[in-house]
């Protein structure tokens, strides 16, 4: 009974995070912290920082790894499912309904116009993300290494048609296996061998 | 078969995509538009626009919607499970190991080294959206919408939902 109560609390906590968390996963972390540390005291500040650091050692969206782990810790498998479903489900349903209505009336000229007009907006958003990732990349690896890696990867993926999974997988393996303390330029070599 | 393809299309981007949900977008596009042809660049852009205008994580919204489009509710569940479950299980199962390595330089290096490749794929996707828009709306409308959106998003930090709404109004009035 206690566990079921906890699962409900988890559900509502992450439901709120999902409803108010704009801007994608990483932008939602402060909201998760507000619920988990400040409001419900499920984790201390240090524990929260650890969970975040652990989550970042793994790929995939952070905004589902954290709720899943915290839910599991607080109320087992039920808690895990409650937390993850609460954060993702409402907006998936909203997407399906809204885009469903939209595509139904795609033949109407002005609705099609609406669809066309969002493409430049998405282009700008993607350009912003591109800049953000290149900027962080420059800070960590420097301009030349970043650009060289990008160019080599572009050649492999778009010119030779190698699946991005192989290219990125090779880089991940190289990063993991290469001894610490060496310069990151070795990634290029690893890519060439992919 | 379709369920297996859906699973792979979302499992692979999420298992290699370091850098959170946004890093996964170009990888998902490579599968959904590039490899399996489930969506056109136009519909992918529309999905992404709505996804960016709504709250909650972007990777699961994309998975849920694309899965539903391709194979109904079962497809949505498969795509979301492929997005969420593998890394979550890794996190629950290997917690002690990951805890010891959470500040390891090798782990930091993994996301650092992947970043230029993700950035390049994002740049490629940006170019794809530009060509798509030039093709469907023409240079003048693309320039107007793109410039206004860039100023609103970057200069004034306008919420993406309002920018998307503005574009919808513009499109309804002038591109119909």
Domain ranges of chain A: 2-104, 117-193
Q: Tell me the C-alpha distance between B22 and A26, whole Å.
A: 9
What is the 8-class DSSP label of residue A77?
H
B40: DSSP letter: -
Across the interface, of B57, B114, B173, the residue whose CB is closest to A87 is B57
A-chain residues within 8 Å CB-CB of B87?
Answer: 58-60, 64-65
List of chain B residues with pLDDT < 70 = none
Contact A54, B48 (CB under 8 A): no
What value of ipTM does the predicted structure carry? 0.89
Flag the least confident range among A4-8, A24-28, B136-140. A24-28
Q: Encode pLDDT of A99-155 as tens digits.
A: 988 888 888 888 889 989 999 999 999 999 999 999 999 999 999 999 999 999 999
Of A56, A113, A167, the CB nearest to B175: A113
- Using 50, 70 and 90 to split pLDDT, how confident is the model at A89? very high
Hey, are the CB atoms on B42 and A157 less than 8 Å from each other? no
Looking at residue B161, what is its pLDDT?
A: 85
Burial of A77 (0-12, 13-18, 19+ CB in 10 A): exposed
* Average model confidence (pLDDT) across chain A: 87
Sorted by sequence, the CB contacts under 8 Å of residue A132 that are 6+ apart come out as: none
| Nearest CB neighbour to B109, from listed A103, A147, A184 | A184
Look at residue A175 and tell me whether its pLDDT is greater than 80. yes
Question: Does residue A1 carry a pLDDT above 70?
Answer: no
Give the global pTM: 0.86
Interface test with B, best of A92, A140, A142 (most B CBs within 10 A): A92
- Burial class of residue A134 (count of CB atoms within 10 Å of its CB; 0-12, 13-18, 19+): buried
* Partner-chain contact B120 A154, CB within 8 Å: yes
**B19 in contact with A, Cβ within 8 Å:** yes
Nearest Cα neighbor of B48 from A134, A155, A141, A119 is A119
DSSP H helices in B38-104: 41-53, 58-93, 95-100
Q: Give B105 or A49, the one with higher predicted confidence.
A: A49
Is the model's pLDDT at A191 over the cut of 80? no
Q: Provide the token pair at A47.
A: 């524990």
């Amino acid at each position: 009974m206690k566990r079921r109560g906890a699962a409900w609390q988890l559900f509502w906590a992450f439901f709120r995070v999902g409803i108010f968390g704009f801007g994608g996963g990483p932008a939602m972390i402060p909201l998760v912290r507000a619920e988990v540390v400040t409001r419900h005291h499920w984790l201390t500040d240090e524990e929260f920082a650890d969970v975040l650091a652990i989550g970042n050692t793994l790929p995939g969206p952070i905004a589902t790894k954290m709720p899943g782990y915290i839910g599991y810790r607080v109320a087992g498998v039920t808690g895990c499912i409650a937390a993850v479903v609460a954060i993702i489900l409402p907006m998936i349903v909203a997407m399906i309904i809204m885009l469903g209505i939209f595509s139904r009336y795609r033949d109407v000229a002005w609705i099609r116009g609406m669809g066309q007009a969002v493409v430049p907006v998405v282009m700008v958003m993607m350009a912003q993300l591109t800049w953000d990732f290149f900027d962080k990349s420059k800070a960590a690896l420097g301009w030349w290494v970043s650009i060289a890696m990008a160019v080599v990867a572009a050649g492999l993926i778009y010119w030779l048609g190698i699946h991005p999974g192989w290219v990125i997988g090779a880089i991940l393996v190289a990063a993991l296996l290469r001894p610490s303390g060496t310069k990151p330029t070795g990634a290029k070599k690893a890519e060439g061998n992919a | 078969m379709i369920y297996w393809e859906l699973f792979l299309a979302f499992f692979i981007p999420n298992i290699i995509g370091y850098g959170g949900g946004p890093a996964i977008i170009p990888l998902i596009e490579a599968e959904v538009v590039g490899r399996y042809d489930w969506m056109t660049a136009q519909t992918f852009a529309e999905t992404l626009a709505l996804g960016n205008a709504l709250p909650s994580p972007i990777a699961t919204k994309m998975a849920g919607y694309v899965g539903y489009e391709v194979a109904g509710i079962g497809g949505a569940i498969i795509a979301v499970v492929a997005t969420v479950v593998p890394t979550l299980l890794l996190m629950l199962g290997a917690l002690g190991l990951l805890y010891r390595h959470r500040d390891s330089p090798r782990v930091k290096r993994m996301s650092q080294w992947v970043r230029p490749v993700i950035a390049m794929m994002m740049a490629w996707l940006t170019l794809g959206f530009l060509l798509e828009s030039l093709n469907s709306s023409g240079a003048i409308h693309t320039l107007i919408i793109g410039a206004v959106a860039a100023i609103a998003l970057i200069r004034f930090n306008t919420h993406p939902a309002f920018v998307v709404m503005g574009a919808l109004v513009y499109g309804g009035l002038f591109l119909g």
